[in-house]
């Protein structure tokens, strides 16, 4: 994988997410995509692996190594882990990091201190310069929205730890909001339900499989079932259980309704002229959770606007960062913070 990119001082675009980090170089179609995870010893004294390798060794030897993630709800919680992981992805994406400009997405609610910490981690990782852009702007650009035109453009990016909502017009951000809530909360709701109702402990991947196979934002027309295995909480043995689509639908209602409420709140803050544009042209739904069955239809029904979900919505942010990097002079107005190795800002 380290030879996927052989760039020479090319721009590096990085979408660092709560669950996955994606890195791309220049205009290439190839991409590095690995879990946002590092593995440390149980005393957290030494980082031994990053990304896919970290996930692999933690799953095989959970008593020896433990996972750490740099972000919680989309924001930095461990600077050392963030620096190590960003350096790993930067060097994996580019063989010439010291001649590279790095373009990063950032949640709308990130403070100046958090922005500086993120940029410092990139510069210390070897980059020549770093630029930050808000996540919904990157998602809008990556999904092909005309953000420079005189019309309202709305995007809702639902990641693992955050929901980023933005409304743009004429190359500017009119309204933006980050909610520290996302796809992980849907998984957590399912996990708690399964523990309480089935008295079993299951792996995170099993929860994700259940959500992907049975999850729906709309009332199901059939009651398909899914068989899964877990560890019985009473005797510690393997237990097989069956969950139905109707159960999953009911469990997901509360977290989904919270997302709907936040989308409505942003629209209420928007001028009537831009709302009219959104009603005419619709909004774009991006992020991995956009793939939840029926979510676009539910938002469209409750909000009253068309909803478009791009192909591979989970890649829109990193694609938008790459497009932004290629047109930096035109898109410079979207830069929320920047830092150069020589100390210029």
For residue 3, being part of any structural domain is answered with: no
* Same domain assignment for residues 189 and 217: yes
* Same domain assignment for residues 271 and 323: no
Q: Is 160 annotated as a binding residue?
A: yes
* Same domain assignment for residues 158 and 302: yes
Q: Give the pLDDT confidence of 196-235 residue by residue, as tens digits.
A: 999 999 988 899 999 999 999 999 999 999 999 999 999 9
* Same domain assignment for residues 42 and 96: yes
* Same domain assignment for residues 84 and 161: no
Q: Give the pLDDT confidence of 185-195 residue by residue, as tens digits.
A: 999 999 999 99
pTM of the model: 0.89
Check residue 213 and give its pLDDT: 95
For residue 75, being part of any structural domain is answered with: yes
For residue 326, being part of any structural domain is answered with: yes
Range of the domain at 192: 183-251
Q: Is 69 annotated as a binding residue?
A: no
For residue 345, being part of any structural domain is answered with: no
Q: Is 109 annotated as a binding residue?
A: no
Q: Is 210 annotated as a binding residue?
A: yes
* Same domain assignment for residues 176 and 206: no
Q: Is 208 annotated as a binding residue?
A: yes
What's the maximum distance between 2 C-alpha atoms anywhere in the chain?
64
Tell whether the model's pLDDT for residue 141 goes beyond 90.
Answer: yes
Alpha-carbon distance values, 157 to 75, 136, 195, 239 (Å): 15, 6, 29, 37
Q: Is 209 annotated as a binding residue?
A: yes
Strand runs labelled E in 197-324:
200-201, 225-232, 238-244, 283-286, 307-308
* Same domain assignment for residues 116 and 88: yes
For residue 1, being part of any structural domain is answered with: no
Q: Tokens 């849907």 label which residue?
A: 186
- β-strand 153-158 against 75-76: which pairing, if any? unpaired
Contact yes or no for 11/86 (Cβ under 8 A): no
* Same domain assignment for residues 240 and 265: no
For residue 62, being part of any structural domain is answered with: yes
What CA–CA distance (Å, rounded) separates 263 from 155?
A: 10
Question: How high is the mean pLDDT of the chain?
Answer: 88
- β-strand 20-25 against 153-158: which pairing, if any? unpaired
Looking at the structure of the chain, the number of domains it has is 3
Strand runs labelled E in the chain:
12-16, 20-25, 32-35, 38-41, 47-50, 65-68, 71-72, 75-76, 101-106, 129-134, 153-158, 163-169, 172-179, 200-201, 225-232, 238-244, 283-286, 307-308, 335-340
């Amino acid at each position: 994988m380290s030879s996927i990119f052989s760039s020479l001082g090319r721009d590096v675009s990085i979408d660092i997410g709560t669950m996955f980090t994606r890195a791309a170089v220049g205009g290439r179609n190839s991409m590095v995509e690995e879990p946002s995870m590092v593995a440390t010893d149980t005393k957290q004294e030494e980082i031994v692996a990053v990304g896919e390798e970290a996930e692999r060794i933690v799953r095989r030897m959970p008593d020896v190594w433990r996972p750490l993630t740099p972000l919680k709800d989309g924001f930095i919680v461990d600077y050392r882990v963030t620096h190590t992981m960003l350096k790993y992805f930067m060097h994996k994406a580019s063989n010439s990091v010291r001649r590279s400009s790095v373009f990063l997405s950032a949640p709308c609610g990130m403070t100046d201190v958090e922005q500086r910490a993120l940029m410092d981690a990139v510069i210390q990782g070897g980059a020549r310069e770093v630029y930050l852009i808000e996540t919904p702007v990157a998602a809008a650009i990556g999904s092909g929205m005309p953000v420079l035109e005189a019309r309202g453009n709305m995007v809702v990016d639902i990641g693992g730890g955050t929901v980023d909502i933005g409304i743009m017009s004429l190359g500017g951000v009119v309204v933006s909001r980050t909610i520290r809530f996302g796809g992980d909360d849907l998984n957590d709701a399912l996990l708690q339900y399964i523990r309480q109702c089935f008295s079993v402990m299951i792996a995170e991947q099993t929860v994700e499989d259940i959500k992907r196979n049975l999850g729906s934002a709309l009332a199901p027309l059939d009651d398909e079932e899914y068989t899964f295995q877990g560890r019985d909480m009473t005797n510690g043995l393997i237990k097989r259980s069956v969950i139905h689509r109707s159960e999953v639908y009911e469990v997901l209602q509360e977290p989904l309704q919270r997302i709907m409420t936040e989308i409505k709140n942003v629209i209420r803050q928007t001028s009537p002229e831009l709302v009219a544009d959104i009603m005419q042209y619709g909004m774009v739904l991006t992020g991995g959770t956009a793939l939840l069955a029926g979510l676009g239809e539910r938002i469209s029904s409750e909000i009253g606007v068309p909803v478009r979900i791009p192909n591979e919505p989970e890649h829109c942010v990193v694609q938008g960062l790459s497009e932004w990097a290629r047109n930096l002079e035109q898109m410079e107005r979207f830069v929320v913070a920047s830092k150069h190795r020589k100390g210029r800002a």
